Structure 1
Amino acid sequence: MVLQYLKKQKAHVSSGQDGAALISALLIVSVMSLTALAVIENLRFSMKLTGNLGQREQARLYALGAEQLAKSTIKATYQIGRQTKLERYPELDTLTLNPIFFPIDGGSISGSIKDGSNCFNLNSLVKIGERNTLVADEVSLQKFVVLLEAVGVHASEGQSLANSIIDWIDSNSSPGYGGAEDPDYAVLQTPYRTSGTLLADVSELNVIKGFSPELVETIARWVCVRPDVNLNQLNLNTLSIEDLPLVLSYLGNKYDEVVVSNILSQRPVTGFNEVEDFFKLDVFQEDKFPEEEKQFYGLASDYYELHAQISYYQTLISLHSLLQISRGGDITLVSRRYGSF
Structure 2
Amino acid sequence: MRERGMALLTVLMLVAVMGALTATALETINRSVRMAGNSRVAMQARYYVLGAEVMALERIATLVGMAGERMPAGGWNGREFTFPTPDDTGTIRARVSDGGNCFNLNSVTDGASPTTLRARPRGIAQFSALMTTLGISDAEARRAAASLADWVDGDSSPLPLGGEDEAYMRLSPAYRTGNTLLAEVSELRAVAGITPEIYEVVRPWVCALPTTELSPINVNTLEASQAPLLTMILPGRLSPDAARQVMASRPAGGWTDVLDFWEHPALVALSPASEELDQVKLVSRWFALEVDVDLSGYTLTETALLDVSRDRARVAERRWTVEE
Which TM-score applies when normalising by structure 2?
A: 0.92
Figure out how many residues of one structure are paired with residues of the other and give that number. 320
Deviations 1:157-188 (A, max 9, x none): 11111122111111111222332322233343
Equivalent residue in structure 2 for 1:99, among 80, 105, 111: 80
Amino acid at match of 2:34: K
Amino acid in the other structure paired with 1:18: R
**1:10 aligns to what?**
none
Instruction: Please state whether the residue corresponding to 1:260 is helix, strand or coil.
Output: helix
Q: Which residue of 2 aligns with 1:117?
A: 100
Q: Quote how far apart the aligned CAs of 1:38 are.
A: 0.8
**C-alpha distance in 1, partners of 2:33/2:58?**
37
- How far apart, in 2, do the equivalents of 1:19 and 1:187 lie? 77
**Where in structure 2 are the equivalents of 1:119-158 lying within 5 Å?**
119-128=102-111, 133-158=116-141
Q: Which moved more, 1:205-214 or 1:313-322?
A: 205-214
Letter in 1 for 2:79: N
Q: Distance in 2 between matches of 1:132 and 1:186?
A: 21
Post-superposition shift, 1:121? 0.8
Between the aligned partners of 1:296 and 1:55, the Cα distance in structure 2 is 44
Does 2:145 match 1:159? Answer: no
Map 1:323-334 to 2 at 5 A. 323-326=306-309, 328-334=310-316
Equivalent-residue separation in structure 2 for 1:125 and 1:261 (angstroms): 25
Question: What aligned pairs does 1:230-245 form with structure 2 within 5 A after superposition?
Answer: 230-245=213-228
- Bigger shift: 208-217 or 43-52? 208-217
Determine the C-alpha separation between the residues in 2 that align with 1:94 and 1:143.
Answer: 29
Which stretch shifts more, 209-218 or 42-51? 209-218
Equivalents in 2 of 1:121, 1:39: separation in Å? 56
Counterpart position of 1:9: none
CA gap 1:340/1:28 in 2 versus in 1, 3 angstroms: farther
Matches of 1:218 and 1:154 in 2, distance apart? 12
Task: Give 1:98 deviation, angstroms.
Answer: 3.2
Q: Is the 8 A contact 2:219 2:280 kept in 1?
A: yes
Query: Structure 1: which amino acid aligns with 2:54?
Result: Q
Partner of 1:35: 21
Q: Kindly provide the CA deviation profile for residues 72-116 of structure 1, in whole angstroms up to 9, marking residues without a partner as x.
A: 10112222233xxxx2033x6543243221111211110211111
CA RMSD in angstroms, aligned pairs only: 2.2
- Cα contact 1:78–1:329 (8 A) shared by 2: no
Q: Is the 8 A contact 2:114 2:153 kept in 1?
A: no
Quote the offset at 1:25 in angstroms. Answer: 2.1
- Distance in 2 between the 1:187 and 1:230 partners? 32
State which drifts further: 213-222 or 169-178.
213-222
Superimposed CA distance per residue, residues 37-89 of structure 1 (whole angstroms, 9 cap, x where no aligned partner): 1111111111111111111111011000010000110112222233xxxx203
In structure 1, the residue matched to 2:161 is: 178
Paired AA for residue 331 in structure 1:
A
* Equivalent residues in 2 for 1:166-315, closer than 5 Å: 166-285=149-268, 287-292=269-274, 293-315=276-298
Tell me if the contact between 1:93 and 1:237 (Cα under 8 Å) persists in the aligned partners. no
Q: Which moved more, 1:99-108 or 1:244-253?
A: 244-253
AA of the residue aligned to 1:330: R
Which has the larger displacement, 276-285 or 99-108?
Answer: 276-285
Q: Which amino acid aligns with 2:11?
A: A
Q: Normalising to structure 1: TM-score of the pair? A: 0.87
What amino acid is the match of 2:31? F
Larger helix fraction of residues: 1
Structure 1 SS opposite 2:62: helix
Counterpart of 1:334, as a letter, is: A
1: CA distance, partners of 2:211 / 2:113: 17
Per mean C-alpha deviation after superposition, the further-off stretch among 175-184 and 45-54 is 175-184
Query: Given residue 128 of structure 2, which amino acid in structure 1 is its aligned partner?
Result: V
